Amino acid sequence: MAQNNKTKGRQIAALCLSLTLGLGLLILSLSLPRIVGASGPEEGSIQGNGPVIGLASNALECLAVGNDQQCPASGVVRLTWPAGQAERARLILTVSGTEAAHTIKVNGQPLASVPIHPDGQPSGSGETFYLDIPPEALVQGNNLIEITNDALPDDSWSATQVRLEVFGHFTVSLMDGIDNTGYISPGDVAATAVTSFTITFTNPYDESSQEARVVIPDSYGGDTPVPLVIYVHGRSSDMYEGENTLGEATGNKGWLLATPQLHGSWTGDPQPDPPGKYAYASLESQYDIIGTMNYMLEHYNVITNQIYLVGYSMGGQIATVTIAKFPHIFTAIFDNKGPTNMVQWYDENTSYHQRWMRRECHINEVEQDPTQNPFCYQRRSSVNFASDYIHIPISITHSVSDTLVPIHHSRDLRDAINSYNPDQLASVYEDTVVGPTCGEPYHCYEPDPMAVLNFLEPFTLNNNPTYINITTDESKSYYWLKIAQTGGDHWSRVEAAYYPISATVTTTVSDTRPLTVAFNLGSTALGLTRITDKLKQPGMGLPATTYLIQGGGNNYLRDHEAGYLTTTLVITGQFSLTISAITADLSAHPDMVSGWQTATSTITAVVQDYLGNPVPEGTIIQFSATEGTFPNEGSTYTTTVTGGQATTILTLTATADDLAEITASVESITGSTSVNIIHPALDVTVTPSKMMIYRGQVVTYTYQITNTGDITLTNVTLADDNGTPGNSNDDITVCTNITLIVGAITSCSRSTT
């Protein structure tokens, strides 16, 4: 970010270094076997076959002209490119203190005029500019760059990170490969040292062609997947910031590094150059990150559950918003001094930067402040997406003395995230040493690059949690959830959880306008809108069955087999939505009847979801039975559900088999019960101990009891009539509590006189 306290005149840049010799081209060795689908930096501007690659020189740390400058006015950079024509070239530099459009010379030729930018720190932070120059002015090897103050001789100004870059369809010596075309392909780099170059990608939001810098470690061979870091550059900066900040560290780790050249939403004049210096978390800049990631996944061997985001200053603003929008894609984030509330940050900025904020939030190219277009500022504030961070590890660093981005931004984001009980609490490291010593606006603190990567390294992506709490400003996918808004830009909030055992999804929705939501209930991983198919999203793993969708003005059944289950919510406000598998529980009363005569059983079906919600009134249910008939005198019977129940009568005749199996079907689910048809029977024989007795003599009667039926008999009582048929009051109980299995015989006896 630019630090806008530039004092003209006699300021000393103690840290300026004079680089009189080039340090060598960043590309040391390229041996590339095949073409990849890259387009030119400017669509249609470069003719030819194969991809267009940008190769950069080393950077001059500092050039300066004017009074009391400690940096030289000229320096040499080394630029070489493989065989092939350099078809486009540009000069890249970060400018501070220019009051007039001075001439810049390359190899003695006046090729460009420096943009006027009076702000910034001499030989320090400023505004980055990309100046097109004719490629024929460049030579293989050493190139001399010289700045002047010819337009205003008393002007003192400086340029830092000065480099040259060429683009072309370069050819190299062939190696064994897929097609041996001879064109440079970033996806096939075989490097002997850390290799960096510029690629072009398609932004999936606006389909524009954009640039990114890619850094490949010398250890990368393509056979083994490695982590990917996407660095997001700050305000007044460009895509080279990533390799300047983390390039050495990612190289030492053996990780891939990519930094997109961001762009914003402002369509009027003037246009920022480079395009992302005032992107302020525009949707375009968010999808620059996604487009870069898509490119890297298509061309490199990336560990897909170790894709990390890093952003400093405005880059932190963009990164913290983007990861909240894509928590199912990015594993973890490191944010250094990023603004998290753009509404507040607008009031904390200078008028110059306020104007660029208003431009970014324009309506039809009419600048808008936070009172005129509040949603634009809100949606660029990561503090408003805090609920999305419950599964995202984040580390934040910030200087307590920072006045460009006050530390409350980091503290506020930390506290907002932690209020949602995340898997890992957010934390802020507060610098009290570096920031206070670097001068107004005390925005200089940067963490150790290796410490940044060490924080990220242990984490792997959790892309299928059972609980999510999503705040979104646009229609898009999150994990297994897809949200489609209606009615223009606004906030939608969906808190959802799924329960595999009960095949249930519970959701709380908050929206001021009708919303459509879709859930990937099954096990098939599905592609995501605007995301490469290399990152398909797993589903919940719930069964294919019939679900009851209830809430949001809905109460209906849906058979679901695969893919997304989609429902449109016709009411607004805050409400609950549930999706739960239904069951049909059948019972028969009685569930056992005698087969010696015609009998009936009442069949009841209770049809509800796992949460106990009844299916809608009038739901059709069909009963069927293997024995007997229903009221329509058939073996199948169709009726409707009322109050979550359906009841019918099954009539069983004496000719029925021993078991009647009954089923009930609602949509794709069935329930079952049965009625046992029994034929109980006993055979009793009585044998006296004497065939003839005299009055008063004792006789013993033995009773043999045989179960001749088809069911076990329990709790049998044998009673003998006392000579008074029809009157049981004087019957004689012979034995009780008898249990007889089928075919079993038992006996008991009694004696009398």
List C-alpha distances in Å: 220 to 142, 191, 225, 705.
29, 8, 9, 90
Assign 753 a pLDDT band (cuts: 50, 70, 90): confident
Range of the domain at 571: 467-579
**400-422 confidence digits (pLDDT tens):** 999 999 999 999 999 999 999 99
pLDDT of 9: 33
Q: Calculate the alpha carbon distances from 749 to 553, 683, 701, 742 in Å.
A: 73, 16, 5, 22
Residues 669 and 686 in one domain: no
Q: Is residue 172 pLDDT above 50, yes or no?
A: no
Whether residue 261 sits in one domain with residue 393: yes
> Does one domain contain both 152 and 75?
yes
Calculated CA dihedral for residues 56, 62, 65, 66, nearest 10 degrees: 160
Least confident of 90-104, 109-123, 658-672: 109-123
Give 590 or 45, the one with higher predicted confidence: 590
Q: What is the pLDDT of residue 8?
A: 32
CATH of the domain at 116: 2.60.120.1200
pLDDT at 15 over 50: no
pTM of the model: 0.80
Tell me the C-alpha distance between 136 and 85, whole Å.
Answer: 9
Stronger pLDDT, 169 or 555, i.e. the higher one:
555
**pLDDT (tens digit per residue) in 600-655:** 999 999 999 999 999 999 999 999 999 999 999 999 999 999 999 999 999 999 88
* Cis geometry, peptide bond prior to residue 327 (ω within 30 degrees of 0): no
Residues 331 and 210 in one domain: yes
Residues 507 and 394 in one domain: no
User: Is a pLDDT exceeding 60 seen at residue 34?
Assistant: no
Specify the CATH number for the domain of residue 207.
3.40.50.1820
**C-beta separation of 88 from 48 below 8 A:** no
Picking from 678, 698, 726, the residue at the C-terminal end of a domain is 678
Helices 283-299, 314-325: crossing angle, 10 deg rounding: 70
Same domain for 281 and 405: yes
pLDDT, average across residues 654-682: 94
Question: Which residues have C-beta within 8 Å of that of residue 393, sequence separation ≥ 6?
Answer: 331, 332, 333, 423, 424, 459
More confident residue, 690 or 485: 485
pLDDT at 83: 65
Q: Determine the Cα–Cα distance for residues 330 and 392; give it in Å rounded to an integer.
A: 8
pLDDT in tens, 444-456: 999 999 999 999 9
- At 488, the pLDDT band (50, 70, 90 cuts) reads very high
- CB-CB contact of 119 with 4 (8 Å): yes
Same domain, 223 and 85: no
pLDDT score for 268 = 96
Q: What is the mean pLDDT of the chain?
A: 89
What pLDDT is attached to residue 120?
Answer: 74
Average pLDDT for residues 590-598, to the nearest whole number?
94
Radius of gyration of the chain (CA): 40
Does the pLDDT value for residue 383 go beyond 90? yes
Residue 555 has pLDDT above 70, yes or no: yes
Q: State the CATH number of the domain containing residue 587.
A: 2.60.40.10
One domain, residues 297 and 247: yes
| Residue 637 three-state SS | strand
Q: 124 and 13 in one domain? A: yes
- Give the model confidence (pLDDT) of 38-82 as tens digits: 223 333 333 345 567 888 899 999 999 998 778 999 999 999 887
What pLDDT is attached to residue 21?
27
Q: Which two tokens stand for residue 569?
A: 């919510």
- Which of 556, 579, 602 terminates a domain? The answer is 579
285-301 pLDDT, tens digit per residue, is 999 999 999 999 999 99
Q: How many domains does the chain contain in total?
A: 5
**C-alpha–C-alpha distance, residues 54 and 373, integer Å:** 38
**For position 85, what pLDDT does the model report?**
77
Task: Give the pLDDT confidence of 708-720 residue by residue, as tens digits.
Answer: 999 999 999 999 8
Query: CB of 307 within 8 A of CB of 323?
Result: no
Final residue before a domain boundary, out of 133, 155, 190? 190
Banded model confidence at residue 84, pLDDT cuts 50, 70, 90: low
Of 334, 338, 316, nearest to 450 (Cα)?
334
Distance CA 446, CA 315 (A): 13
Of 657-661, 721-725, 743-747, which range is least confident? 721-725
| One domain, residues 210 and 351 | yes
Contact indicator for 76, 144 with CB cutoff of 8 Å: yes
Distance (Å, whole) CA 651 – CA 572: 50
d(CA 260, CA 234): 11
Whether the Cβ atoms of residue 92 and residue 162 lie closer than 8 Å to each other: yes
Q: Are residues 590 and 728 located together in one domain of the fold?
A: no
Measured CA to CA in angstroms, residue 482 lies from 524, 556, 719 at distances of 15, 20, 74
Same domain? 369 vs 291: yes
Q: What whole-number percentage of the chain has pLDDT above 70?
A: 89
Share of the chain above pLDDT 90, in %: 79
- Give the confidence band of 333 by pLDDT, cuts at 50, 70, 90: very high
pLDDT for the residue numbered 119 = 80
When pLDDT is averaged across residues 658-670 and rounded to a whole number, the result is 96
- Label residue 564 by pLDDT band (50, 70, 90): very high
Confidence of residue 170 (pLDDT cuts 50, 70, 90): low
**DSSP characters for 487-541?**
SSS--EEEEEEEETTTTEEEEEEEESS-EEEEEE-SS--B--TTS-GGGPBP---
* Residue 183 pLDDT exceeds 60: no
